[in-house]
Amino acid sequence: MTHDLPNTDSAPIPPRYVRQSQFAALGTEGQARILQSTALVVGCGALGSVIANTLARAGVGTVRIVDRDFLEWNNLQRQVLYDEQDVRNGLPKAIAAANRLRQINSLVTIEPHVADVSSQNIHTLAEGVQVIVDGTDNFETRFLMNDYSLRFHVPWVFGGCIGAEGQTMTVIPDRSACLRCLIPEVPPPGTSPTCDTAGILAPIINVIASIQACEALKILSGNVDAVHPGMYVFDLWENRVRQIKVDSLRASGGCPACSGQQFPWLDGTRTSQSAILCGRNAVQLSFPQRGRVSLEQMAEKLSSLGKVQTNPFLLRFYVDNITITLFADGRAIVSGTDDVAQARSLYARYIGN
């Protein structure tokens, strides 16, 4: 497993990147490094679609995107890679994003993965990357990325938005504070606002994601010293910008991850197999120990019980006021309820134990 920045060679810089390489702090050497680099974007919704779009246009050699979700109409307000036809096609976000990114830049490699990032698959998903960029909406996955970053010395860029406010911070292992320096534990349910309760404005997404993408480009180009050492906090509605110093948190030695080298999210002792999805009246159910599901056989089984729609990536089953979206890895999103117990009962009834 290697995460080192690639060596540059004398290959010419393609003309499409000339304006970027003329930026003196980056230059042709920095651009050459970017062309040979690999970035992992975890989550390709609001933040992730802006990040992936920017990195692909910048010429990042391989942009690996992983997302667990499919497209809905309310995504289009802020998720810039997608259009109405993508929603009509019922595509997973990772697949729709890959289709669009390949049209944007045919010179880069786009690797889409329809999956929920977990301790079981993060080693494969992050193999050979030089930076991980956060496009998620939950702290469980962020803490997993934080654990992986510290354990394997891979920088990662945190980002989060709600309402008109957003935050971002870059974690450089052994040099900067990490996410658990700031937030030692996952906030209890109901204590933090969500996009369901507070809403979300698209402009804050673009601001935070653009900063995240720029931080990633600094790292990939070999300019890690240019990375911002603290946390940015923007409130676009109240016209406030803050820069928060966080170095003292790491220096205190009290962080269970940085100082204690405790990585419970990575070793699987801390995990979440169900999650209420932000603003969706939906619950995701994950079953990491189960094998893959035949969508074709499941469609045949369910066709007599309700309406079934399929594509190569997922199956959608409609019954009463509930929609169950089933992925080939056995993961499901149960829409029409935010009750985890009810969602699990519906899964067991129609998909099986």
Residue-by-residue pLDDT tens, the chain, 353 positions: 556 665 655 578 999 999 999 999 999 999 999 999 999 999 999 999 999 999 999 999 999 999 988 898 989 999 999 999 999 998 999 999 999 999 999 999 999 999 889 898 999 999 999 999 999 988 889 999 999 999 999 999 999 999 999 999 999 999 999 999 988 887 755 556 666 667 899 999 999 999 999 999 999 999 999 999 899 999 999 999 999 988 877 767 789 898 888 999 999 888 765 576 766 788 888 876 566 888 998 898 898 889 999 998 999 999 889 999 999 888 899 999 988 778 887 887 888 75
One fold for both 15-267 and 274-350?
A: no
Q: How far apart are CA 210 and CA 212, in angstroms?
A: 5
What would you measure as the largest C-alpha separation in the chain, in angstroms?
64
Q: Where are the domains of the chain?
A: 15-267, 274-350
CB atoms within 10 A of CB 247: 13
> Alpha-carbon torsion 127, 266, 281, 165, what sign?
negative
Q: What is the pTM of this model?
A: 0.84
For 338, residues 6+ apart whose C-beta sits below 8 A from its C-beta are: 276, 281, 282, 283
Q: Please state which CATH number belongs to domain 274-350.
A: 3.30.310.10
Question: Looking at residue 7, what is its pLDDT?
Answer: 61
Residue 246, both tokens: 């966080």
Q: Are 13 and 41 in contact (CB under 8 A)?
A: no
Question: Looking at residue 290, what is its pLDDT?
Answer: 64
Q: Provide the CATH topology of domain 15-267.
A: Rossmann fold (3.40.50)
Q: Among 212, 195, 164, which Cα is nearest to 50's?
A: 212
Q: How far apart are CA 52 and CA 75, in angstroms?
A: 16
Q: Cα–chain-centroid distance for residue 49?
A: 9
Q: How far apart are CA 207 and CA 184, in angstroms?
A: 26
Question: How much is the CA Rg of the chain, to the nearest whole Å?
Answer: 20
Question: Looking at residue 326, what is its pLDDT?
Answer: 92
Q: How far apart are CA 8 and CA 30, in angstroms?
A: 8
Question: Looking at residue 287, what is its pLDDT?
Answer: 72
Question: Looking at residue 152, what is its pLDDT?
Answer: 97
Distances (CA, A) of 136 to 55, 65, 116: 17, 12, 11
Q: How far apart are CA 6 and CA 155, in angstroms?
A: 15
For 136, residues 6+ apart whose C-beta sits below 8 A from its C-beta are: 42, 43, 47, 48, 117, 142, 145
Q: Give me the residue label for tokens 């890690």.
A: 224
Question: Looking at residue 249, what is its pLDDT?
Answer: 77
Q: Among 97, 145, 143, which Cα is nearest to 121's?
A: 145
Residue type (1 letter), 267:
D
Distances (CA, A) of 29 to 26, 36, 57, 288: 7, 11, 17, 42
